[in-house]
């Protein structure tokens, strides 16, 4: 879901970095954890489902930190789109002069991140219908509230699946219709950029580690039911 | 849309299944004994309204189990669980548990009304009754632990109770439809 600024001209193109290591690790770990969370829910692996959820929450908190203090292409300020920029991007036939998320792809990224936060948020307060297992914060709310959280958690998963399908379909369309490879850069981190395209400004590795540590710490804090998440 | 299509297919399949086994469809109003799970003892069949009323009541009872286990689950999550509240829940569960199998007479399946009770209940009545018996035993053991007020015992017996719910639900309860 990116524009690599590729142009159909004979200009010299060079492979340059567009996605840093933390962003790529985040992306693929998230893919694996969401798949595992889905599997564990379908097969009633209750304990595992909670752990996968905690893993996703840690990653999401990391991503917030990396979205504020990370590399230029990972920063929300660089990609959270304005309606005008989406319009301009479509009008300009999907040309985007900066390395990183193009406006349409950015919309998809924001939607996916928000959806994942909603899923984790409802999961934290949900109880399964037999009262056998539940999110670590369920005991802080009434049983009808937990039932509602479970309903939302189950129903909204379909919306998340739809967004994931759209994400994958768009990548295929870019490949097949526009001839742009978006998958490769998310694996190798590098893409062919025209010389006039603004490259990525990398973030600091220790900032990434700090963001990850914060993600794990805050998640553990929530699980432990520490204030303000507990009695 | 897809869900409705699946529902329709399931409903057709269930009706077909019942037609293939007329004995399983002989409704009766007599409460079957939990020991044998024999739901087909001689008695007048359930009328449609009777069946629907029974299914509604059954649904409420199952929800009541869920409400109590949720309360216990929540209580056990706190740093100092309210043993008195757990005791009350355990008493309600143990009181209802012996009746559970009797809420499933023949003629109260998905072919009659809205229910997640699977046709397998009436195809394997002995196994179903056995699962009900396991549940009753687990409920009694949980009540003993709760009455004693020993938290580690409460935790163990509550986990066992949960397993007995799951053992039956995995086989005889259809997934929730959205």
Mutate which of A124, A129, A133, A161 to test chain B, going by most B C-beta atoms within 10 A? Answer: A129
> Pairing state of beta strands A2-3 and A100-101?
antiparallel
- Tokens for A228, please give them: 């303000």
pLDDT for the residue numbered A157: 97
* Across A216-230, average pLDDT: 82
Closest CA to A110 of A166, A37, A34: A166
Residue A211 predicted with pLDDT over 50: yes
Q: SS3 string of chain B?
A: CHHHHHHHHHHHHHHHHHHHCHHHHCCCCCCCCCCCCCCCCCCCCCCHHHHHHHHHHHHHHHHHHHHHHHHHHHHHHCCCCCHHHHHHHHHHHHHHHHHHHHHCCCCCCCCCCCCCECCHHHHCHHHHHHHHHHHHHHHHHHHHHHHHCCHHHHHHHHHHHHHHHHHHHHHHECCCCC
C-alpha A37/C-alpha A43 separation (Å) is 10
CA distance A56 to chain B (A): 22
Residue A170 predicted with pLDDT over 90: yes
* Statement: the pTM of the whole predicted model exceeds 0.90: no
The answer, for B77 touching chain A at a CB cutoff of 8 Å, is yes
C-alpha B79/C-alpha B67 separation (Å) is 21
The answer, for B79 touching chain A at a CB cutoff of 8 Å, is yes
CA distance A33 to chain B (A): 24
Q: Which residues of B touch A153 (CB under 8 A)?
A: none
Domain spans of chain B, in order of start: 2-17+24-172
Cα dihedral B155, B158, B160, B166 sign: negative
A5 in helix, strand or coil?
A: coil
In this complex, which of B72, B176, B178 lies closest to A131 when CB atoms are compared? B72
Cβ–Cβ gap B178/A155 under 8 Å: yes
Count of pairs with CB atoms under 8 A, one residue in A, one in B: 52
Which pLDDT band holds residue B7 (cuts at 50, 70, 90)?
A: very low
Nearest CA in chain B to A136: B77
* Across A178-200, average pLDDT: 86
The answer, for B3 touching chain A at a CB cutoff of 8 Å, is no
Rama region for A45: left / alpha / beta (φ>0; ψ in -120 to 50; rest): beta
The answer, for B162 touching chain A at a CB cutoff of 8 Å, is yes
Q: What is the pLDDT of residues A95-134, one digit of tens each?
A: 777 778 888 888 899 999 999 999 999 999 999 999 989 9
Which residues share a beta bridge with A198?
A98
- Tokens for A74, please give them: 């990972």
CA distance B156 to chain A (A): 13
CA distance A105 to chain B (A): 29
The answer, for B155 touching chain A at a CB cutoff of 8 Å, is no
The answer, for B78 touching chain A at a CB cutoff of 8 Å, is yes
Cβ–Cβ gap B66/A130 under 8 Å: yes
Residue B5 predicted with pLDDT over 60: no
Q: What is the pLDDT of residues A49-89, one digit of tens each?
A: 999 999 999 999 999 999 999 999 999 988 887 888 788 88
CATH superfamily assigned to domain B2-17+24-172: Cytochrome c/b562 (1.20.120.10)
In this complex, which of B70, B79, B170 lies closest to A131 when CB atoms are compared? B70
Greater model confidence, B56 or A89 = B56
Q: Which residues of B touch A231 (CB under 8 A)?
A: 78-79
Q: Which residues of A touch B68 (CB under 8 A)?
A: 131
- Tokens for B32, please give them: 């079957």
In this complex, which of B67, B77, B166 lies closest to A143 when CB atoms are compared? B67
**What DSSP designation does A82 have?**
P
C-alpha A150/C-alpha A134 separation (Å) is 9
The answer, for B73 touching chain A at a CB cutoff of 8 Å, is yes
Mutate which of A44, A124, A132 to test chain B, going by most B C-beta atoms within 10 A? Answer: A132
Residue B141 predicted with pLDDT over 90: yes
Residue B25 predicted with pLDDT over 70: no
| Lowest-pLDDT range of A90-99, B65-74, B112-121, B159-168 | A90-99
| Lowest-pLDDT range of A46-60, A90-104, B93-107 | A90-104
In this complex, which of A44, A129, A138 lies closest to B74 when CB atoms are compared? A138
Residues in chain A whose Cβ is within 8 Å of chain B: 44, 127, 129-134, 136, 138-139, 143, 146, 154-155, 225, 231
Mutate which of A43, A124, A128, A131 to test chain B, going by most B C-beta atoms within 10 A? Answer: A131
| Lowest-pLDDT range of A19-23, A193-197, B91-95, B104-108 | A193-197
């Amino acid at each position: 879901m990116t524009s690599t600024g590729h142009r159909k001209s004979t200009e010299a193109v060079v492979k340059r970095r567009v996605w840093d290591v933390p962003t790529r690790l985040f992306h693929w770990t998230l893919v694996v954890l969401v798949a595992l969370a889905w599997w564990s829910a379908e097969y009633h692996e209750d304990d595992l489902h909670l752990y996968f959820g905690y893993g996703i929450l840690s990653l999401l908190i990391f991503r917030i930190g990396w979205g504020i203090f990370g590399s230029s292409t990972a920063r929300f300020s660089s990609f959270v789109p304005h309606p005008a920029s989406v319009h301009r991007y479509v009008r300009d036939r999907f040309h985007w002069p900066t390395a990183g998320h193009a406006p349409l792809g950015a919309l998809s990224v924001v939607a996916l991140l928000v959806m994942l936060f909603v899923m984790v948020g409802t999961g934290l307060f949900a109880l399964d219908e037999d009262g056998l297992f539940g999110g670590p914060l369920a005991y802080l709310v009434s049983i009808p509230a937990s039932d509602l959280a479970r309903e939302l958690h189950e129903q909204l998963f379909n919306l998340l699946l739809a967004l994931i399908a759209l994400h994958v379909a768009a990548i295929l369309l870019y490949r097949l219709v526009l001839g742009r490879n978006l998958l490769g850069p998310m694996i190798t981190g590098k893409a062919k950029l025209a010389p006039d395209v603004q490259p990525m400004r990398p973030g600091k590795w220790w900032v990434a580690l700090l963001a990850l540590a914060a993600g794990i710490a805050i998640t553990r804090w929530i699980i432990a039911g520490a204030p303000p998440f507990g009695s | 849309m897809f869900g409705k299509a699946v529902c329709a297919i399931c409903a057709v399949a269930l009706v077909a299944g019942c037609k293939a086994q007329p004995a399983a469809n002989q409704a009766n109003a007599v409460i079957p004994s939990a020991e044998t799970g024999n739901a087909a003892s001689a008695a007048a069949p359930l009328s449609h309204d009777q069946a629907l009323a029974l299914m509604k009541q059954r649904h409420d009872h199952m929800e009541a189990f869920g409400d109590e286990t949720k309360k216990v689950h929540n209580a056990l999550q706190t740093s100092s669980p309210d043993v008195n509240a757990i005791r009350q829940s355990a008493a309600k569960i143990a009181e209802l548990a012996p009746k559970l199998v009797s809420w499933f007479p023949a003629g109260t399946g998905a072919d009659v009304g809205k229910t997640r009770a699977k046709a397998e209940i009436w195809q394997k009545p002995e196994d179903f009754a056995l699962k009900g018996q396991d549940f009753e035993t687990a409920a009694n053991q949980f009540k003993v632990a709760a009455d004693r007020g020993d938290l580690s015992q409460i935790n163990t017996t509550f986990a066992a109770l949960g397993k007995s719910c799951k053992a039956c639900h995995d086989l005889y309860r259809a997934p929730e439809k959205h």
